[in-house]
Each structure stands twice: as C-alpha cells, then as structure tokens.
C-alpha cells in the first residue's frame, strides 16, 4: 500500500497512543475480514442506510482492498486482529469458515476466526472449525435474525464452552433492534452454559447496564469496546456515566474492539474515546492489549532482548 502522508500521520498517532502506555502494540478483537464479494455487500448496505444501521449515515472510512487493510492495521501496530464474519442464512457458515481458515493461514497475525448459524449440523460445523484451529467465533444475532438460545445451537454452545473458545457476539439492540437482540436471549444461553466465553460486542449497546449485569454474574463473560464512547455512538446511544465504576471494576474483562474497516471515523478516535473516560493507564493497558493477550494465550509483553556483552 502507498505510504501517503495521511496514512503515515494516522499510523503515527495510533502508535504514539500505545507507546505512551508502554505497550508492545494493540490487540483488536473486532475487525472485519471476509470474502470480498460479501464485504462489498456489507458496504453497500451501510451506503444504503438500511434498517440494520438505524437509517444513520455511515461512511466507511477504510474502504480498501484486503491486503491494504491488513497492512494498515500492521502500520497501526495491531499485533493481533480477527476476521469477524457472519452468515445471514442456512448453508453459509461452513463456506465462510473455509474462507476464514484460508485467510488465517495466509495472515499469521489474524486470530483464526469462525462463525455459526442455527441449522441442522451446526455443532458439526463448529467442531470442524475448532479442530481446524479456530481461536474465536463470531455470532451476529441482529444480522442473522436468530435466537441465540435456539435449540439448534445448544450443542454448539456446549462444545465451545468445553473448548474454551471465545465467541464475539453482537446481541445488543444497536444500531437498530432485532427480534432476538437484547440481554434476554443471551441470558438464557448463559444459564445453560455458564462457562461459555462470550465477548459481548459494542459493550451491548444500547443495553449497556443489562450486559454489565451479565458480566458481573458470569465470570467468563467479557465485553468489547467496539464503537462505544466515540462521538458517533454517544450521539445515538450514550453510555450512562453512572456505570463507569462498574466498567472500571470489570477492567480485566473489557477488550479493545474497533469494527475496522467499517467505521465512520479514524481508527485513533476509538482509542482517544477510551482515554478520555479517565479510568487510568492500567485500565487502558488491560483493555488495549493485556486482557486479550491473556484470553488468547499471546505474550503479554514480548521477551526482552538479551543484552549485548560489553
């Protein structure tokens, strides 16, 4: 990709943020890579201001080719990222999982991502993906328009709980509610599978406090920061300031997410939005790197270089 002055400046801004915290980089658990024709359909949906975006104008800041997007994340200093992809109909999950396995093979800094859908054979598709090395799953209740507590997924959730594989799940009702969004369906899943490592996307926006309740009740529930606290989201679904102490107390289970490339503002704005919460550098270090490093078994700090003898 061309190292144009704007890109160099933006990458420099991001790197200064994490360097100032003494981090080796960032880990972003919510980035989107998927087959190009699928991603272009996603972008077209955002462009059309459809009901799933709440009819809000949503320009795509990083509308670039796949290789350019991955290279830009590396320039930002993102040490590990995901390929959040998701089906909207039966028969699609297994195909997406095959693509994602290939993407992970050719993209070593991407955490091998898979997905699932409530359909016959769902548990077999999930087992295949786990055996192929999947390290994280994506579930999108809003786009998929399914109940996560559907019996067709029960065995799959159980398998993932036993395997300890995290699932990033979009289950909040933002930016527009769906038939099965909100805390209720996910609470039913967790009641059956309390050890399931669910990562609630977008902090559960806009039902923030309800999903904080679930994280406080279940020790394996985590939340990602995707789009939360940004100027864009605060206009639509402001985070209640009374809940900030609860967010601070859950500091070891909050993970950085961005929604890159599908964000309507520069990447660094998400980082600055977290910083201006005033929850401290230790909280930021956990959120931006260390919590995800522990979850995925990555080095929290790279080994120090041996000193050169004098």
pLDDT value of position 309: 43
pLDDT value of position 1: 44
Do the Cβ atoms of 85 and 106 come closer than 8 Å? Answer: no
Q: At what angle do helices 151-163 and 183-192 cross, to 10 degrees?
A: 60
Spatial neighbors of 77 by CB under 8 A, at least 6 apart, are 11, 14, 15, 18, 25, 26
First to last CA, the chain: 41
pLDDT value of position 49: 78
Cα angle for residues 233, 10, 266 (degrees, 5° grid): 15
Q: Which residues pair with 223 in a beta bridge?
A: 200, 254
Spatial neighbors of 149 by CB under 8 A, at least 6 apart, are 185, 186, 188, 189, 192
What domains, with CATH codes, occur in the chain? 22-296 (3.20.20.140)
Half-sphere exposure of 141 (CA within 13 A, CB side): 29
Do the Cβ atoms of 293 and 300 come closer than 8 Å? Answer: yes
**55: region left, alpha or beta (phi > 0 left; psi from -120 to 50 alpha):** left
pLDDT tens, N- to C-terminus, the chain (310 residues): 445 777 889 999 999 999 999 999 999 999 999 999 999 999 998 998 777 787 889 999 999 999 999 999 999 999 999 999 999 999 999 999 999 999 999 999 999 999 999 999 999 999 999 999 999 999 999 999 999 999 999 999 999 999 999 999 999 999 999 999 999 999 999 999 999 999 999 999 999 999 999 999 999 999 999 999 999 999 999 999 999 999 999 999 999 999 999 999 999 999 999 999 999 999 999 999 999 999 999 998 765 544 444 3
pLDDT tens digit string along 55-74?
889 999 999 999 999 999 99
Do the Cβ atoms of 239 and 208 come closer than 8 Å? Answer: yes
pLDDT value of position 303: 56
């Amino acid at each position: 990709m061309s190292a144009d002055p704007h890109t160099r400046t933006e990458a420099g801004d991001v790197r200064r943020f994490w360097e100032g915290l003494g981090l080796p980089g960032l880990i972003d658990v919510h980035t989107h890579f998927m087959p190009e024709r699928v991603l272009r359909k996603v972008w077209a949906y955002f462009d059309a201001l459809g009901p799933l975006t709440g009819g809000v104008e949503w320009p795509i800041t990083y509308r670039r080719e796949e290789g350019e997007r991955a290279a830009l994340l590396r320039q930002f200093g993102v040490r590990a990222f995901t390929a959040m992809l998701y089906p909207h109909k039966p028969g699609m999950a297994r195909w997406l999982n095959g693509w994602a396995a290939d993407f992970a093979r050719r993209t070593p800094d991407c955490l091998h991502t898979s997905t699932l859908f409530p359909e016959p054979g769902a548990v077999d598709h999930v087992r295949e993906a786990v055996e192929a090395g999947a390290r994280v799953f994506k579930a999108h209740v809003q786009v998929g328009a399914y109940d996560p507590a559907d019996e067709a997924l029960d065995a799959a959730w159980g398998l993932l709980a036993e395997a300890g594989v995290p699932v990033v799940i979009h289950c909040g009702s933002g930016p527009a509610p769906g038939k099965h969004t909100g805390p209720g369906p996910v609470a039913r899943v967790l009641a059956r599978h309390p050890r399931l490592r669910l990562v609630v996307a977008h902090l559960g926006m806009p039902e923030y406090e309800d999903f904080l309740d679930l994280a406080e009740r279940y020790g394996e529930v985590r939340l990602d920061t995707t789009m939360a606290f940004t100027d864009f989201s605060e206009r639509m679904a402001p985070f209640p300031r009374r809940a900030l102490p609860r967010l601070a107390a859950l500091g070891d289970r909050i993970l950085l997410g961005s929604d890159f490339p599908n964000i309507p503002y520069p990447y660094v704005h998400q980082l600055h939005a977290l910083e201006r919460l005033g929850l401290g550098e230790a909280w930021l270090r956990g959120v931006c790197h260390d919590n995800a490093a522990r979850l995925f078994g990555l080095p929290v700090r790279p080994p120090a270089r041996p000193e050169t003898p004098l």
